[in-house]
Every structure is written in structure tokens, then in C-alpha cells.
Structure 1
């Protein structure tokens, strides 16, 4: 379904986080963008389009009514109860504003109770973790209450030059420290740059539904980080192999039904190439 394209006012909940801030930088030049941050941070508190909001302490009602967003991107963290109640407030707002679309950043965790096969968009979620169960409950809330206004964006491993996992890998390489790898864990992956471009495309098209914003192929967790490391140089960390099962454990999501155009797709080899490039200086606009 495509919604009518008016002037879009975007509110990114969690705009100070890894994913939220990348989206802010991607969308800022094209839309009227506002963000939230929770913990005090000078760079954000001094930015006039950033609003302080903590799910455990604040009601979203006043902020939503002040900004009047036409697109809400949910990429924030908090306690399980606070997050669910915040999304109930989002639903209440969207039910009163039919021109508002909600983009919920979910993840492969909604399938962590399954481990024999990769998961596609139409597969029924099943989680064994508290985090995965929460995401399932929020997905269900949005899809049942405001289905025509909801886009569920499930992410796999999200890497990138300045992603927490790659920064940690580089530190382990420098100090010959231990880096955990999972030889039997089969995953899909993507980069923060590709995710930002994909979500920009979804916003432009006004698309709703369930999307798996992941690579078109899979790789073992251990192989992924060994290949990234080998492309970075000759030094290696101490890879510590962790086995959770004797057989392969699939925590991979793959796009099938709602595939984006070829230019907005990615492969594991492209993820490896991007993650092995030189480090960039992290900047906050």
C-alpha cells in the first residue's frame, strides 16, 4: 500500500543511537526531521531538532502532539513495559492521524526460537528470548491495530566501519585480544549505510508491510569475521569459538516477498568489503 505523499515530517525515536543517528543523517537533507535522545549528551541537547525523551520517565503523547509527525520511526530502547506502552501511545496517535505511517525497527530476534531454517517475511515469528518476545508483541500490536499504516523493518546483523561490533574487532586486533565467534551460527548481514538507504527508499515510496532488510545470502558467523579480519591486514585477534549447538543454528532472515530493487539489495561479500575499509571519523550533525 502507498500513502498519499504530502510534506513529510519525520520523528525518529532513538535518534541518538547507532541506527537512529544514521537515519537522521540520511534523511535530514530531504525531509523535516526531528529526533529523540534519552541520556544527556551535549551534541544532542544543543541541537534544536533533538528532544529529550526516555520511555521509562516520559509520556510520548505531548511530544507527538507538538511535532505532529507524518512518519514515526521507532528505533529506541528502554524497559520492556515502557517500550510496549510507548508503542501503544504511537498506535493511539496514528489512529487519530490517518496520514501517519509507523516504521518499526525490529530484528531477526523475533525468530530466535527457530534454528533449523532461515526465516522469510511471511514466516510466523517464534522467540525464546525476552527481547525477541517483546519485538513480537510490538509487531503484533502495530499489525493488528494500524496495519495499513505500519512498516515492520526486520534487521539482521548490522555492521559498518564504525559499528560497535567492527570497532570492537579492530580493538581486539590491535591488542591481540579475544574476539568471540560462533562457528555453527548461520546469519545474514547488512551495513548501516545500506539500511539507511533502504529505509529512505521505503519512506519515499510510502510503503507498508513486512520487510527483511538483510543480505540475499548467508554466512557462518565465524567465517564472516575471519574474512573481514583477513581483508583488514595481516594481524589477527584471538578468535574464541563458542558452540551453542552441535548442528547449524540459523538466525538468518532473508528477503523474499518484499524485495527492494536491485540497487537497494546487498550481499554478504559487499558487507565484508565495506566493513574492511579504513575507519571513518564519527561525527554528529
Structure 2
């Protein structure tokens, strides 16, 4: 498997694929790969001639007090996990991994202190300071910046993101629409879950104990499913009642430390007032359990992918 660490080499690879009229599917990751990531790789392989997977733990989306230094990193293990997807490719350049250094991605240097950062950064106003942005106001500035850098480096035709990070999906879509230098589309792939518990797969699940992973953390998703059942089977549209169903299961029964539970409009990500309308809504939240901070969401009456 070809592993590229330099942007100049990546541009040479992209020039070759373009000369062969091959479409490129791109899967950006921070490593610690799991089945959620592999579902994105599988989707990219099904829709594109060539697949590029990036592995890069992006410092600019972490605050000084967060887990950047402890975030799981094992490039050798990640490459081994990707080997089955590399098998049977016609050309060694049809499946590559881009694993740059921090210096390659931030040539001016980078500090976690946003006030001391220098160089170019990207912000998506209007979608970044609610939900995840309330407690992590720096986060989507870092995400938008690194995604812009990666898009410029890889120049994909399609980029694949997971539904679990639903706000990130909206931010990236807005980035692609607003920065018109990107002639590409964003594909959102459904959240991958533990088949027994329903817990959304996440790199941060490694922080959970067996009991937390199997019995406590899944209570949030059970609350989300309660709300989905009420919405679909009982025609429940009251935002207050739908939110209460999630909170009752996750906070009261599960004892989870809820950071937020929100029912939001699909176009603005602002809270639904009163009842869910014809546009549907996104029900989402974040909670802490042990050393882990986890997020999840479900869609109420809206498609995962908008119509072209």
C-alpha cells in the first residue's frame, strides 16, 4: 500500500489519476480506525475508481485542556487494518494513504492556544457555535481549516463523512458550497453501530470500561430510539416531549452525564420551537461517561442525503 506523507508527492499522484480520467473518493480520518471508518472506505470504493484515506490527528481542533496528546495513534495498526481494502486493486495508486506530519500540514507551526495561532484558518459562520460549538468554540474552526487543506491536497471528486458527526457534515457541506474552488460533492454515510448494544462506533470508545461500553453508554441511543418510535409510530411532534423521552432514558435511567440534548432544524441547526415541522428535524446530543465524551444523533423525517 502506498503511503504518502508529502503534499508535493500527493499532487503528483493526483495528476496521474486525473490523466487516467479516474474518479477519486476521499475518506479523511484521525486514525484509530474502526468499522465506522471502513464503511466510509467501502462507500468510496463502490462509487469511485480510486480511494485516498488520510490519517492525521489535527491539533487545531483541540483546545489546550483536551485530549490531543492522548488521542489514540497507531499508524502501523491502521495500515494493517486497511490492507483488505487494498487487495485486488489494479494499480498501486488506486488505493493510497495520506499520512502527513503536523509540520507538513501547518508549515508555520501550530499551538493549541487559539490566541497564539498564526497563519491561514477557515471559519464557517452560522453553523459552528451551536451544539458542539457551545463547549468547544474552537472545534469547527479547526475542522474547517484542516478539511480545506486536505481537499486542496487530495482534490477529490467525492468526500465521505459519517452521520455520527452530523454537525461536522453540515459544516463541511457549507464549506464546499461557499468555497467554490472545490468541484466536488460530500457523501454522508449512516452511523455504524455495535450490533449488540447500538452504541455508535467511535475512536473514543477505547476510553470506556467494559461495563460502560456494554451497559451505560448505549442508554443514550436507547433514548434516541424511544423518540424515533414516538415520532414514527405515534405521530409525536412536540419538541418538548421528544426531548423528554431521550432525557428520561439517558439521564434518569442510564445516569449519564448529559452535556446537551437538542432537537434542531435541518437547515440552520437552530432548536425546533414548538413542534417538528414538515422539514423534519435532527435529534442529537453529547454526554460524558468515565474518561469519554461521546456524541450521537438520529434523523426525524429527513433524508440522509439531500436531493441533487
**Alignment TM class, shorter chain as reference:** 0.3 to 0.5
Q: TM-score, normalised by structure 2?
A: 0.37
TM-score w.r.t. length of structure 1: 0.39
- Greater relative CO (CA pairs within 8 A, separation 6+): 1
